[in-house]
Amino acid sequence: MAKVYIFLANGYEEIEGLTVVDLLRRAGIEVVMVSISGDIFVTGSHNIITKADALFENVDFADADMLVLPGGMPGTNNLKAHEGLDLLLKEFFSIGKRLAAICAAPIILGSKGLLMGKNATCYPGHEGALTGAHVTNAAVVEDGNIITSKGMGTAIDFSLSLIKNIVGETEAVKIARAIQYQYYN
């Protein structure tokens, strides 16, 4: 079974994080919500408290197929400042494992030099922080082992893209139909 880790920091955008968790789990993908805050309970940017599955310091990420970063403020800045996550993202990138980020979170990848020469997108106004990327206005951009997306309104498209990349197009279409999502190609 494929395994995805999604990182939650205080101030994360709840829709961007939980849509990923919900849709990937519907597709039979194991998703682990990891708190980087030192507390199993994480407060989102709209004061919704989420109970994570694990604390960062207690997880061995060797079995991950993908790492996912939701956006939101100040959640994105909190993720960006976490030293352990910084090292993990760079390690996964260096061995070609998949990384995904939505909304403001692609700036985390940009700040670490992981978007050099890649096509990418992000929440409008943050394009300058996508260092070295070819910035597009697409809702979701897949380039090699990196997937980026614009924001809360693209969370379903983003999640379906992750499903497609992990278990295939057929499963992504199946999930889109099951949730009555009409706009997925």
Q: Which residues are catalytic?
A: 103
Residues 6+ apart with CB under 8 A from 169: none
In angstroms and rounded to an integer, the radius of gyration of the C-alpha atoms of the chain is 15
Q: What is the dihedral of CA 142, 46, 27, 162, to 10 degrees?
A: 10
Environment class of 62 (CB within 10 Å of its CB; exposed 0-12, middle 13-18, buried 19+): exposed
Residue 74's H or E segment, with its range, is: none
Widest distance between CA atoms in the chain:
40
DSSP three-state, residue 121: coil
Q: Tokens 């789990």 appear where?
A: 25
Q: What is the dihedral of CA 126, 127, 131, 137, to 10 degrees?
A: 140
The encoded tokens of residue 176 equal 């889109």
